Each structure stands twice: as structure tokens, then as C-alpha cells.
């Protein structure tokens, strides 16, 4: 966390001598729980421990909890950052057994049971590691600046900036070939994020921006979804994949199945389709294809006694702890927990939340001398939205698509999103945006550093 032009002497973590866990020392809490990460896993663990006789330290690099499932709405100008982010201190304000530390964990000292943040060290009796995941470019890290992914608020406002700037560039581009490249938006990866992103892009082009330009027609935008497998939304059953595909095509999204991305350049990408290699001119390529676990996972893999899996996730025991260090739990996108079905659980919010609640329970049980049962994920259902009035959903064997699935999606997400905020207000705001197609959030903003000074 660094602000523009902050006094160069500013590195607050280094202004302290190595002070061991000063905050928990002064309390009389008998059991110190350190949680790394304020996402769905870490935050839910902290909240679930609110009545336990423990002293909690929640460490995050950012000062807010982010509702990641709606990040694509920020990227496409439908919501503002503050709509989907809530300050961690505000959420945990009245939970007196929990302190929040803003900072980045450099090391987990497993032997000394200490987490190092800058020049501070936090001792733990139980450690919950929930640092999440970032993009993976399958060995092509050079693609990252050319095809940004969507994990942080800054990713989202950066993508929003690029999408809107591409329309601006097209508006004043005289060369029709170049204009077409500005108006081609290519999304890599046909999972839920890719589907939601292309669906929202289509709405932006066909509805929101409809009357905004004089030299281009935003509806001429070409939106392409590149998907390596033979259907979108792989984790869903085939009929829902087909429904999603149909809905995307009705929104003028070109879906390229069985297509592999082999090159990303500033002005075009190269793909291998079943019909052969193709070059697609585009100025805007977005990444929704792969994730890898936080780098902390590699440190912990050693402590688990087993190597991390191929996406860097840590193999955990049935109670989500490490084999050789039972006081360390790893949850959410960082954990590879396959005892239940034989394959790792999906990297979704509901898994992380349930795991957060579960490890809180295990910690309480251990303190009470009670045994813990293995973690069991209850799949309440999955949903993905394609756009206004269109989604796919499955709850056990029941499957829905179209407007009904979308209404369920909307209802569930407004409720979830509003957990820490005012539900009525969020609902009204959405209702207003959905009714008017007006998206006040489509601002081109960046740090002052990259914006020309007002002269």
C-alpha cells in the first residue's frame, strides 16, 4: 500500500524494530490466532471466532474485503469499487477480540510459529492461511501486461480504463482497419469470469454506450470469447453450457471453441482453431483463463510434507490443517482439499466461506479438548450470469437457465453483497442502473501519476 508522493521516508513497517506480537502480548488472550488474508476464507474465520476466547490478528495487504464475484461489473463500468469493497476495520470494528494489520506477509516462520510482516513479527498458536490466488499465464508471463486479468480492484479499474479508452480511440481513428482493431475485444477463457465479462461487454456496447459516440456505432464492437475446451462453463452440465453459449451468441458474442491462444501482441493475438492458425487484430485482450495460488503456498508446501499441486495449492488434511504442522490451516483458493470427492474443491467463494467457518470451529473444539470431524463441503448450487435476464444455475439436480435463473442470481448476489452494507440501498442502486442502462461508474481514472496534470 503506497500513496502517490508519499514522503519517501514512508515505510511504516520499517520504522519499528522487530517487535514480537506487541498487540497480542498486552492482551490476556490465552490463544493467539493469526489469519493471513481478509477474503471470504479469512474474514469468515475471523467472524466465526467472535465469541471465542482467542486473540485474533487479521493481516491483509489491502484495507478492505472485496466481493470478487462482482469484480467484472467494476471492469465494465456497472458498479463502483466502493459498491463491492468494504473496509475490513469497518466490518470488524466492534469485534474486540480481533485486530487488523495492514501489511504484506514476507515469511511464515513455521518453527518459531511466527508470521513476519515487514519488521514486525506476530506469534501464533493457530495460523489460518487464506491468501488466495492470482492469475496464471501458463508459462507466458510476458502476456500479463498485454492481457490483464481480473483479481483486484486496480485490475478492474485498469480494465475499465482500457475498454473505455478503446472506444475513445475508435471514435477519432480515421483508418477503418485500425478502428476495427480498437473495437475488437477478446476475452481468453470460457469459465464463469470469461462468460460474465463478455456478456457485460456486450451490454456495454449494445446498450449503455448506444447514443454516446458520433463517429462510431458502439454496437459494431466485436466481442470474442476464446475457449480451449469444446464448451463454455466446463464445471456445469452440458445442457447449461449449451444454454449459456446460445445466450452469448444472441448477444453478438463470438464464441471460439476448441481454440488455443498461442500469442498475444499489442495489436493482435494468434490462436489455433480447429480450422488452423488465425491472427485476430485486437487492441484489447483480457485474461480470464487460469489462476495460481499465492506464493506463500510454496513455503507452506514444505511444512505440509507434500509438494504443492500444479497450480501451487497446498495439499491439506481432511481437517484443512497441514500434516506436519497441525496448528496451521490452509483454506480457500490456496488449499487443495480432495478428501471429499477425490478431486480438489472448486476455487469459489462458497468453499472459502465454509472452510473459514469450519476452521474456526476446529480451533474452538481443540481449545475445548473435543475432536473435530473432517471438513465437508455442502454444495448449495452454482450460478453464472451472462447478462441482464440471462443466467444459468444448478442446485443439486435441478437446473435453470434464462430469466428465472437470473432472478435467483440477482437475489442471491444482492443479499450476499449487502452482507456488510445496506441491502435496500444496494438493491435500489442496481435497480436504477438496470432500468436506465446508465452507468455512472464508467469513469476513466488512474493514479495521478499517469494522468496529465491540470495546467
Tell me which residues in 296-315 interact with a second copy (CB under 8 A): 296
**List 25, 173, 196, 272, catalytic entry:** 196
Question: 25 an active-site residue?
Answer: no
Among 258, 161, 157, 166, residue whose Cα is nearest residue 205: 166
Smallest distance, a second copy to C-beta of residue 398, A: 35
CA angle 7, 10, 13 (to 5 degrees): 170
Does residue 80 belong to the site contacting a second copy (CB under 8 A)?
yes
Smallest distance, a second copy to C-beta of residue 330, A: 15
Binds a second copy (CB under 8 A): choice among 219, 279, 373, 447:
447
What does the chain come to in residues?
455
For the record, the C-alpha cell of 415 comes out as: 443479499
Q: What is the 3-state composition of the chain as percent helix, strand, coil, each rounded to the nearest 5? A: 35, 25, 40
Smallest distance, a second copy to C-beta of residue 340, A: 27
3-class secondary structure, 220: helix
* Residue 438 · residue 208 · CB < 8 Å: yes
Binding mask 9-48 for a second copy (x = CB under 8 A): xx-xx-xxx-x--xx-------------------------
Total residues binding a second copy (CB under 8 A): 104
Binds a second copy (CB under 8 A): choice among 29, 50, 102, 365:
102
Binds a second copy (CB under 8 A): choice among 323, 324, 415, 451:
451
Between 3 and 368, name the residue whose CB sits nearer to a second copy: 3
Smallest distance, a second copy to C-beta of residue 282, A: 10
Binds a second copy (CB under 8 A): choice among 123, 173, 327, 379:
173
Binds a second copy (CB under 8 A): choice among 109, 141, 212, 238:
212
For the record, the C-alpha cell of 288 comes out as: 480470464
Does residue 341 belong to the site contacting a second copy (CB under 8 A)?
no
Handedness of CA 341, 399, 197, 79 (dihedral sign): negative
Handedness of CA 124, 127, 130, 134 (dihedral sign): positive
Does residue 215 belong to the site contacting a second copy (CB under 8 A)?
yes
Contacts of 226 (CB under 8 A, 6+ apart): 186, 187, 188, 189, 190, 256, 259, 261, 269, 271
Smallest distance, a second copy to C-beta of residue 180, A: 13
Q: Which of residues 412-431 bind a second copy (CB under 8 A)?
A: 421-422, 425, 428-429
Binds a second copy (CB under 8 A): choice among 53, 93, 217, 262:
93
Does residue 453 belong to the site contacting a second copy (CB under 8 A)?
yes
Between 132 and 245, name the residue whose CB sits nearer to a second copy: 132
* Residue 148 · residue 307 · CB < 8 Å: no
Between 247 and 285, name the residue whose CB sits nearer to a second copy: 285
Between 239 and 267, name the residue whose CB sits nearer to a second copy: 267
Binds a second copy (CB under 8 A): choice among 36, 59, 71, 101:
101
* Residue 195 · residue 248 · CB < 8 Å: yes
Binds a second copy (CB under 8 A): choice among 214, 310, 378, 397:
214
What's the CA gap between 365 and 203, in Å, rounded? 49
Does residue 104 belong to the site contacting a second copy (CB under 8 A)?
yes
List of E strands, 118-267:
120-123, 126-129, 133-135, 184-188, 222-226, 253-256, 260-264
Between 16 and 374, name the residue whose CB sits nearer to a second copy: 16
3-class secondary structure, 293: strand
What's the CA gap between 312 and 267, in Å, rounded? 32
Binds a second copy (CB under 8 A): choice among 51, 111, 145, 310:
145
For the record, the C-alpha cell of 219 comes out as: 454496437
With both helix axes pointing from N to C terminus, report the angle between 349-367 and 40-48 in degrees, rounded to the nearest 10.
30
For the record, the C-alpha cell of 153 comes out as: 480492484
Residues labelled catalytic:
196
Amino acid at each position: 500500500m503506497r500513496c502517490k508522493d508519499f514522503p519517501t521516508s514512508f515505510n511504516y513497517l520499517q520504522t519499528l524494530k522487530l517487535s514480537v506480537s506487541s498487540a497480542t502480548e498486552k492482551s490476556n488472550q490465552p490463544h493467539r490466532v493469526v489469519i493471513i488474508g481478509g477474503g471470504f476464507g479469512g474474514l469468515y474465520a475471523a467472524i466465526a471466532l467472535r465469541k471465542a476466547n482467542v486473540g485474533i490478528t487479521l493481516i491483509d495487504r489491502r484495507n478492505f474485503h472485496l466481493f470478487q464475484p462482482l469484480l467484472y461489473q467494476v471492469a465494465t463500468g456497472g458498479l463502483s469499487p466502493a459498491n463491492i469493497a468494504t473496509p475490513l476495520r469497518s466490518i470488524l470494528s466492534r469485534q474486540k477480540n480481533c485486530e487488523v494489520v495492514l501489511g504484506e506477509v514476507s515469511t511464515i516462520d513455521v518453527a518459531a510459529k511466527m508470521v513476519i510482516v515487514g519488521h514486525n513479527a506476530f506469534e501464533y498458536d493457530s495460523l489460518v492461511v487464506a491468501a488466495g490466488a492470482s492469475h496464471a499465464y501458463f508459462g507466458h508471463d510476458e502476456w500479463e501486461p498485454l492481457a490483464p486479468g481480473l483479481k483486484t480492484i486496480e485490475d478492474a479499474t485498469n480494465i475499465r480504463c482500457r475498454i473505455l479508452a478503446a472506444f475513445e480511440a475508435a471514435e477519432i481513428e480515421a483508418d477503418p482497419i485500425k478502428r476495427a482493431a480498437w473495437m475488437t475485444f477478446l476475452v481468453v477463457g470460457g469459465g464463469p469470469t470469461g462468460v460474465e465479462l463478455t456478456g457485460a461487454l456486450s451490454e456495454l456496447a449494445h446498450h449503455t454506450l448506444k447514443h454516446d459516440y458520433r463517429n462510431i456505432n458502439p454496437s459494431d464492437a466485436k466481442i470474442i470469447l476464446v475457449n480451449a475446451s469444446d464448451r463454455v462453463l466446463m464445471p456445469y452440465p452440458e445442457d447449461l453450457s449449451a444454454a449459456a453459449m446460445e445466450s452469448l451468441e444472441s448477444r453478438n458474442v463470438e464464441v471460439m471453441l476448441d481454440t488455443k491462444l498461442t500469442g498475444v501482441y499489442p495489436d493482435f493475438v494468434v490462436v489455433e482453431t480447429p480450422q488452423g492458425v488465425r491472427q485476430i487484430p485486437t487492441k484489447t485482450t483480457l485474461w480470464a483463463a487460469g489462476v495460481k495460488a499465492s506464493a506463500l503456498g510454496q513455503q507452506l508446501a514444505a511444512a505440509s510434507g507434500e509438494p504443492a499441486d500444479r497450480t501451487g495449492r497446498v495439499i491439506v488434511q481432511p481437517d484443512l490443517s497441514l500434516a506436519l504442522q497441525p496448528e496451521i490451516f490452509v483454506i480457500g483458493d490456496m488449499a487443495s482439499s480432495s478428501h471429499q470427492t477425490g478431486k480438489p474443491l472448486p476455487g469459489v467463494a462458497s468453499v472459502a466461506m465454509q472452510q473459514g467457518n469450519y476452521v474456526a470451529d476446529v480451533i474452538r473444539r481443540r481449545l475445548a479438548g473435543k475432536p473435530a470431524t473432517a471438513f465437508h463441503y455442502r454444495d448449495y448450487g452454482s450460478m453464472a450470469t451472462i447478462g441482464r435476464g440471462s443466467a444459468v444455475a444448478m442446485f443439486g439436480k435441478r437446473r435453470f437457465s434464462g430469466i428465472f435463473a437470473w432472478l435467483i442470481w440477482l437475489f442471491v448476489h444482492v443479499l450476499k453483497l449487502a452482507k456488510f452494507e445496506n441491502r435496500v440501498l444496494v438493491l435500489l442502486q442496481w435497480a436504477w442502473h438496470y432500468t436506465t442502462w446508465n452507468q455512472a461508474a464508467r469513469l476513466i481514472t488512474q493514479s495521478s501519476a499517469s494522468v496529465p496534470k491540470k495546467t
